[in-house]
Chain A
Amino acid sequence: MALEKDEELIAAVLAGQVEKYEVLVKRYQGRVVNYLYRLLRSLDDAHDMAQEVFLRVYRALDRYNPEYRFSTWLFRVAQNAAIDSVRKRRIQTVSMERRENQEGESSSFDFPSHDPSPYGDLRNTERGSAIGDAIDGLPAEYRELIQLRHFGELSYGEIADLKEMPLGTVKNKLFRGRQMLKEKLADYLTD
């Protein structure tokens, strides 16, 4: 069966074929969860927020303008939701952070294990942390684009639309950001 375009699926949902929305969810769930995971640092929170994002988008589906890409709209909603959540968390914070640190909980990213050896998990966790730290260490203007490109898997054009930047600027910033990441992660790139 031919892949239906996002716009066609949305039209079908609005016409009453609600089950078609699941096709859209499945199409974007991995990208949205990964993107939110990089922003929120918790896989459970990323899933909860992704669910909220798909719900918000569904509620506003009749306001979707097919002149623009669905992916751009979806990621804008995801980005706004994540920013709101991080802001709320900051308000709750200081004492909570101290308690977590005392209890020794790690705020680093997990790195899915593809290594069957007993040391695999340890090495993967370490690598995941290093990637998370390296991305966090980037200037915000590069970090944001790297997250959208490598975890949201958006194209240069989609990022340009989303960030309302010229395409050339997006390419420049991504190139610079990737160079910085390459330097920071040099130890892991030679493995």
Chain B
Amino acid sequence: MTSEHPIQASEAEEPLEALDHLLAQARVGVQKDFSRRVMEVLPDAPWGHRTSRSWLWVAAVAAGLVLGATLLLAGDVGGSPAGAIADLFVTTLSAGAGFLAASWSGIGSTVDAALGGSLRAILGLGAAAAGAYGLLFGLVRRRRRAVARR
């Protein structure tokens, strides 16, 4: 409820017929062929294209990963400028992968040390993780609802 003075529902719905009539008369007509013109400019099922486009992205990322892995396995890629760029790419991938692995190992050791093998602590961590997932899921769902309403 707002801070405004409340009024009775029946009062709010009181017909102001003359005003309604006047406003209704002010409505304009729609151009005769409007709906036909709309139908003419509609693209072919854009939502179908959207699905294939999203798969295209997945395929591109997968291809990039395969290329990166191939370069990693191939080792030396030569001394040309293109080779140098590829080398940089490989180094970046290696560093990123190493950093990620180190981070996970670090987190793993920290959590392991903190739990100290206690069953209660493990259950507590499990509950906390489930709660965090629940919260995240709730937030994502709310965001998607808001987008759908827009």
- List residues of A whose CB falls within 8 A of some B CB: 14, 16, 18-19, 21-22, 25-26, 29-30, 33-34, 37, 43, 46-47, 50-51, 54-55, 58-59, 61-65, 67-68, 72-73, 76, 80, 109-112, 114, 127-128, 131, 150-151, 166, 168-169, 171-172, 174-175, 178-179, 181-182, 185, 188-189
Contacts and interface: CB of A to CB of B under 8 A. Distances in A.
Contacts of A26: 35
Interface in B80-136: none
A43 B31 CA distance: 10
Nearest to B150: A76
Interface stretch (B42-50, B61-69, B70-78): B42-50
A151 B27 contact: yes
Nearest to B29: A112
Given A18-B45, A188-B22, A172 B12 contact: yes
Contacts, number: 126
- Most A CB contacts (10 A, CB to CB) among B13, B19, B30 go to B30
A55 B45 contact: no
Given A65-B145, A112-B28, A168-B9, 16 more contacts: A19-B39, A22-B36, A33-B30, A47-B31, A51-B34, A51-B38, A51-B41, A58-B42, A72-B149, A76-B150, A114-B25, A172-B2, A172-B12, A175-B14, A179-B16, A182-B19
